[in-house]
Chain A
Amino acid sequence: PVAPGPGPGPAAPAIPLCPGRIRHFKI
């Protein structure tokens, strides 16, 4: 018998994507 491997585990917490996109130029 083969022991079951570790599962995928808990999902990584969502990281808010900030700052957002630059529309014109980086200041």
Chain B
Amino acid sequence: ARSPGVPVAPVRDPDCDDLDVEQAALAAVQYVNNNHKHGYKYTLNQVDKARVYQRRPTGEVYVLEIDLVETCCHVLDPTPLENCTVRQLTEHAVEGDCDVSVLKVDNQFMVLNAKCESSPDSAEDVRKICPNCPLLAPLNDTKVVHAVEAALTAFNAQKHNNYFKLQEISRAQFSPLQSSVYTEFVTVPTDCKPIDVIDPAACNPLPNQHGFCKGTLTEKVGGGEDVVATCTVFVAVPAVPAPQPDGIESSLGPAVPAEPAVPAGPPVAAGPAVALGPLLVDAPAV
């Protein structure tokens, strides 16, 4: 026990590139990505500060300030973080600043707490490196909402097996001349067929399936609009049960595959319960 009000002296101030510091930072990044359900995954850019405190009875607490940068993978996208492309500054990237505490015990890192603030790069900084690059737009802007609805309508018009509903608008950019709107949004397939949807609210989302879409709406000079939509749909497929020794009955119930909204591609990532296969579904210009 220590007297109240007496701060615990730090054990040491390690290098920010110390291997343990990096492992603690990576554990914190994983924690952050697992605990926000909107927007994109972040990846570690830099460790700003590191301090280590002793923890009783055992262990050490790493108190870190870390800089994160946005990737192009949505947090619901099962793609491993290592395979996610970092969002380039020319795309008006978002950064995150986090204060985290990570406990190290028995060579295992466990995040105790994390507090993060995210903010887009300044428009001036984007302009410096790319004068004509589109800047981020508010997600609730009427032009953005219209562009997403038009892109989703175009995608659903392709008559996939299922009707897709909008789950989240995750990104939007206006071109400098305001003549086109670029959007990224998340969709979810439903139990409705595209051709007989009267009330979308009555369609129920299928579990463990999401479409990650990009759409561009361009206003034509003579009136009218061009819409382009591209979606990557991840479909959950049941995992193959591990072979059981003779005489031992599997505790798993029968695998009942839900009909995927789109045919599943080859598995690329395996988790404890499901394997996920991506399928690129491209919608040409409409």
Q: Which residues of B contact A24 (CB under 8 A)?
A: 43, 45, 69, 86
Q: What total of A-B pairs shows CB separation below 8 Å?
A: 51
CB of B43 within 8 A of CB of A21, answer: no
Task: List residues 1-27 of chain A with CB under 8 A from any CB of chain B.
Answer: 16-25, 27
CA separation between A21 and B50, bound complex, in Å? 13
Q: Which residues of A contact B14 (CB under 8 A)?
A: 16
B49 interface residue per 8 A CB criterion? yes
CA separation between A17 and B21, bound complex, in Å? 12
CB of A27 within 8 A of CB of B67, answer: yes
B110 interface residue per 8 A CB criterion? no
B48 interface residue per 8 A CB criterion? yes
Distance to closest chain A CB from B19 (angstroms): 11
CB of A18 within 8 A of CB of B89, answer: no
Distance to closest chain A CB from B65 (angstroms): 8
Q: Which residues of B contact A19 (CB under 8 A)?
A: 16, 46-49, 67
Q: Which residues of A contact B44 (CB under 8 A)?
A: 23
A20 touching B17 in the complex, CB below 8 Å, given contacts A27-B67, A27-B69: yes
CA separation between A27 and B69, bound complex, in Å? 9
Q: Which residues of A contact B47 (CB under 8 A)?
A: 18-20
CB of A25 within 8 A of CB of B69, answer: yes
Distance to closest chain B CB from A26 (angstroms): 8
Nearest A-chain residue to B48, judged by Cβ? A19
A17 touching B49 in the complex, CB below 8 Å, given contacts A24-B69, A27-B95, A27-B121: no
CB of B48 within 8 A of CB of A23, answer: no
CA separation between A25 and B126, bound complex, in Å? 13
B91 interface residue per 8 A CB criterion? no
B15 interface residue per 8 A CB criterion? yes
Q: Which residues of B contact A21 (CB under 8 A)?
A: 16-17, 46
CA separation between A12 and B15, bound complex, in Å? 16
Residue pairs across A and B with Cβ atoms less than 8 A apart, 16 shown, are A16-B14, A17-B16, A17-B17, A18-B15, A18-B47, A18-B50, A19-B46, A19-B47, A19-B48, A20-B16, A20-B50, A22-B46, A24-B86, A27-B67, A27-B69, A27-B95
B interface with A by C-beta (< 8 Å): 13-17, 21-22, 43-50, 67, 69, 86, 89, 95, 121
Known contacts A18-B49, A27-B45; 18 further A-B pairs (Cβ under 8 A):
A16-B14, A18-B13, A18-B15, A18-B50, A19-B47, A19-B49, A19-B67, A20-B16, A20-B22, A20-B46, A20-B47, A21-B16, A21-B17, A23-B43, A24-B43, A24-B45, A25-B69, A27-B69
